[in-house]
Chain A
């Protein structure tokens, strides 16, 4: 195959599906505009807080734990993605694959054990 001439035609249906899904969502909402009621007033449009006016701005400080989870996610998800190509060619690369597997998962487990030890996985402390 000449580089630059490859057209991923098998992805075309996905593109069409994406457009179709977008179209469905947008059109349903847009058509609905002409049918639904619209009687807004100030009390109806405040944020829901069991009937009271909001007591404080809603974008308050939240637990640092969520950031930690996000960082751990990035680390572990990237490692999981690294496992995919390895899993696909597992049959073809023989004993090397097994050694590699134990090495890689050992490294992963070291990081995991560290995170556990540092109580990064505890929600409450």
Chain B
């Protein structure tokens, strides 16, 4: 009986996440289109609302090209690793008060672990394709992801100190009980570091060096086509959703809001998460791409010292105020 309930929860969350992934691509194209005074997709359905479905069907029926030089087994496994690690990170996110697939006490650590595993998929894809562009893309991407992971891990230490827990639901509860209601105010430095690292972790502009199409074609997924490419794509968008949810949980008070919306317990959560997803597109339409050495310098020389400073500051203030 309990098992059935778990399965139902998983299917609900999976369906919702997948629909969000599909429509995140549509939303992105529309947002960027309008920011560039274009209309975005308009052909398939009313204002192009069926575009993601058309794209899905197209990817499904496309030929699956596997280069002869590729290391077959690793080539097959890489997109799956990306997808599995991204999807299973969704399991610990509490969407509202009593709803999370798994309410474990190391939720935050688990999300970090899963986002690190995703970089295996990237580096293996780059290696196994046996193509220069893929190889360089995979190398760059893994170096970037591991650099920013340190900054991201350190930026959340302040939140852990304030909340005293790694359980994501407990972090939200601790925020509701605190005098600020959200940790954005006491953790503003941590928030800044987290948001920058979040962009780099998900390989999005301005840090989309691994897939910088002007120099590396499509980076680590150059040799992938059809459904395998679509799996990478899904993993990237699921990663964006997970990171947005994490930012909402750790800094913006999760599902809590200024007033209760009757009947929709996840109203505020979705609203805040969509703010971050919009932020991704907004930044993509606004900022130019970083150069690789600038990217590394930003990660190692700015974000890590800032995050350490934030820990010292939080600890000192907390012990003074009590």
**A positions within 8 Å CB-CB of B:** 10-14, 16-18, 20-22, 24-26, 28-29, 32-33, 35-40, 42, 44-49, 54, 58-60, 62, 65-66, 69-70, 72-73, 76-77, 80-81, 83-84, 87-91, 94-95, 97-98, 101-102, 105, 108-109, 112, 116, 121-124
Contacts and interface: CB of A to CB of B under 8 A. Distances in A.
A66 B135 CA distance: 13
A90 B104 contact: no
Contacts of B60: 28, 32, 35-36
Nearest to A21: B87
A59 B135 CA distance: 7
A85 to B, nearest CB: 9
A26 B312 CA distance: 46
Given A14-B102, A35-B60, A123-B293, A21 B84 contact: yes
12 contacts: A10-B104, A17-B91, A17-B102, A20-B87, A40-B65, A45-B68, A46-B69, A49-B133, A54-B132, A84-B109, A97-B319, A109-B308
Interface of B: 6-7, 9-10, 14, 60-69, 79-80, 83-84, 87-88, 90-92, 101-105, 109-110, 127, 129-136, 139, 142-143, 146-147, 149-150, 153-154, 157-158, 160-161, 164-166, 217, 222-223, 226-228, 231, 292-293, 296-297, 300-301, 304-305, 308, 311-312, 315-316, 318-319
A77 B150 contact: yes
A48 B296 contact: no
Given A40-B65, A45-B65, A69 B143 contact: yes
B157 A20 contact: no
B153 A77 contact: yes
A72 B101 CA distance: 35
A101 B226 contact: no
Contacts of A73: 146-147, 149-150
Going nearest first, the 5 A-B pairs with the smallest beta carbon separation are A123-B293, A47-B131, A21-B87, A13-B102, A87-B160
A123 B297 contact: yes
A32 B226 CA distance: 10
Given A38-B64, A62-B139, A105-B311, A70 B318 contact: no
B300 A121 contact: yes
Contact of A22 (B80, B158, B165): B80
Given A84-B160, A121-B300, A122-B297, 5 more contacts: A29-B228, A47-B132, A59-B135, A62-B139, A84-B157
A77 to B, nearest CB: 6
Nearest to B158: A87
Contacts of A105: 308, 311-312
Interface centre among A28, A47, A101 (most CB of B within 10 A): A47
A101 to B, nearest CB: 5
A35 B165 CA distance: 49
A52 to B, nearest CB: 11
Given A14-B91, A38-B64, A70 B161 contact: no
Given A21-B84, A108-B308, A10 B103 contact: yes
Interface centre among B14, B64, B132, B165 (most CB of A within 10 A): B132
Contacts of A81: 153
